[in-house]
Amino acid sequence: MISQRKNPVVGLVQSSTTSDRQENVDKAVRGIRDAARRGATLVVLQELFASPYFCQVEDAALFDLAEPIPGPTTNAIAAVAREAKVTVVTSVFERRAAGLFHNTAVVLGPNGEELSRYRKMHIPDDPQYYEKFYFTPGDLGFVACPTPSAVVGTLVCWDQWYPEAARLTALRGAELLTYPTAIGWLPRDKAEHGAAQLSAWQTMQRSHAIANGVFVVAVNRVGVETTGDSEIEFWGRSFVCDPAGVVIAEAGAGEEVLVVECDLSKIEAARRGWPFLRDRRIDVFGDLARRWIDPKAG
């Protein structure tokens, strides 16, 4: 017999943001309540939802957006988690100490308690994604958090391109990989590369689901955001895929709250049919810890 647990019902809150922090937090709170009313037991918010995506520019004054944990944002989300009796994966620009900041995902339980904390491990430094200026790479390792709904793996945005991150989180027992995300098109790229970029983003995460036999929950933001002379059009398209990589729910390009049940019995079924974990040659994977393998050096 496969799992007899009650399946988690996952809510994804996809929204636009403004420069008003309170307005953004209030919108997230409304989204959590909406998802809970529709049966969600686990709600996932988008990356850095309390502010516009400030990493488009390097500006030391923007460190003022950071806050401690617990702090105003986590307190507000903890309160609605407790009110709605749901578990919430929330994203925070964490001020750990003076001059030390992280891009952090916190899992808050249905009593408002902190269940786990994950600090984003992979930090990009690309045009208009200048995250290395703001965030110190995570030092808490990969996290799989038991919750009343499921064992939840918390990863963040750029982490979603790394199969090692998905694998290590799944190996810790995660049944759902959650990816709070902020990704979109630069105006100069959309016409030529836009469709391929979106397809690559979706395909990469679906591959994590297949390779690990888990559900993947990706929650992106929407809208055009301008910082200084820089602009990004966030493409939304938040989605959930099952352990076979089948997309079982997908949002469009506007504000939306998705609610979808995840049948955990599919994990066992997928892993029995495709026993990738059984057949892994862990005895020959040592080189994965190397940056590059010089073919001349061996």
- The full set of domain ranges for the chain reads 9-279
pLDDT tens digit sequence for 148-184? 999 999 999 999 999 999 999 999 999 999 999 999 9
Domain 9-279 CATH assignment equals 3.40.50.620: no
pLDDT tens digit sequence for 251-261? 999 999 999 99
In the chain, which stretches have pLDDT less than 50? 1-3
Annotated catalytic residue, options 27, 67, 94, 120: 120
- 261 in active site: no
Q: Can you tell me the distance from the alpha carbon of 67 to that of 269, in angstroms, rounded to the nearest whole number?
A: 43
Of residues 162, 265, 276, 263, the one with CA closest to residue 212? 276
Annotated catalytic residue, options 67, 94, 145, 157: 157
- 120 in active site: yes
Q: Can you tell me the distance from the alpha carbon of 24 to that of 17, in angstroms, rounded to the nearest whole number?
A: 6
User: For position 1, what pLDDT does the model report?
Assistant: 38
User: For position 2, what pLDDT does the model report?
Assistant: 44
Tokens of 54: 């400030």
User: For position 298, what pLDDT does the model report?
Assistant: 62
- 113 in active site: no
Annotated catalytic residue, options 27, 47, 94, 266: 47
User: For position 5, what pLDDT does the model report?
Assistant: 77
pTM equals 0.95
User: For position 297, what pLDDT does the model report?
Assistant: 73
User: For position 217, what pLDDT does the model report?
Assistant: 98
